[in-house]
Amino acid sequence: MSAISVGQAAVLGVVEGVTEFLPVSSTGHLKITEGLMGIPVGDASVVGFTAVIQVGAIAAVLVYFFKDIVRIVSAWGRGLANREERYHHDYKFAWWVIYATIPIVVVGLAAKPLIEGTLASLWVVAGSLIVGSALMWAADQMGRHKRGEDDTGLKDAMLVGCSQILALLFPGFSRSGATMSTALILDLDRVAATRLSFFLGIPALTGAGLYELKDAIGAGVDPLPLVVGTAVSFVVAYASIAWLLKFVARHSFNAFVLYRIVIGVLLFGLLGTGVLAA
């Protein structure tokens, strides 16, 4: 019997779609929403469900950046066949994404019991929201915003890719928040930092969703809620991506910093008063 109804799946799909790529922690918001709806956060089927509906958000990235992805993959394919093509930035970038994904895969597999156990607590989410806000604010102030996407290198990709581990271990920290903050510290401008976060998230989040799919079905998640949640997250995430790229071109990350602090403090209050169970 599924722990999530179709209606709840639609709500969670909206939450996932809105928050996956905004630097506010989709995992944290999903856990809070599940708790408020009385869904057992630690249930295996619920853990699997939340991982799978991320695929809808990733599909939105694939569609939104389809031309860029085709260009990069094509350059990678040409480089494999022709040595002269290997000097092209897109060929190198494709390898950088692959290399930068390896650390989070290794840590994700090694620390899976811990991630789904002790670190899944809403107390951790609340603390990570606030600590991550401090990092984001500091990064936005420190960064000189002088480097564009074409100025990125292997070092940038590896450091930004490894920063995803923070969000993996500490739900609430935000994968996009960690990657964008790291990119800003490396002096990338906000648009370049955001786009790099998107591209590095594609293999990591897709792999996580596919890995959890069998467990989600095996744990008793009905196919219909999965389909509904994934479809809703796709539509909402596509709109969210378009909005975010326009927003960061003209604004700082301060609005996200303040929002995260408010949500973190509110969550501490809900947990402290027993409204939500950790």
188 strand-pairing partners: 147
Which amino acid, residue 53? I
Angle at 5 between CA 218 and CA 47, to 5 degrees: 45
pLDDT in tens, 221-274: 678 988 999 999 999 999 999 999 999 999 999 999 999 999 999 999 989 998
What is the rounded end-to-end Cα distance, in angstroms, of the chain? 24
Nearest Cα neighbor of 69 from 239, 267, 206, 269 is: 206
- Under the banding of pLDDT at 50, 70 and 90, the label for residue 1 is very low
pLDDT in tens, 166-207: 988 998 888 999 999 999 999 999 999 999 999 998 888 888
Query: Domain spans of the chain?
Result: 6-272
pLDDT in tens, 63-91: 999 999 999 999 999 999 999 999 999 99
Task: Extract the tokens encoding 155.
Answer: 């070092």
In the DSSP assignment, the letter for residue 172 is T
Mean pLDDT of 6-12: 94
Q: Is 173 helix (H, G, I), strand (E, B) or coil?
A: coil
The fraction of the chain above a pLDDT of 90, given in percent, is 59
Listed in order, strand segments (DSSP E) in 56-102 are: none
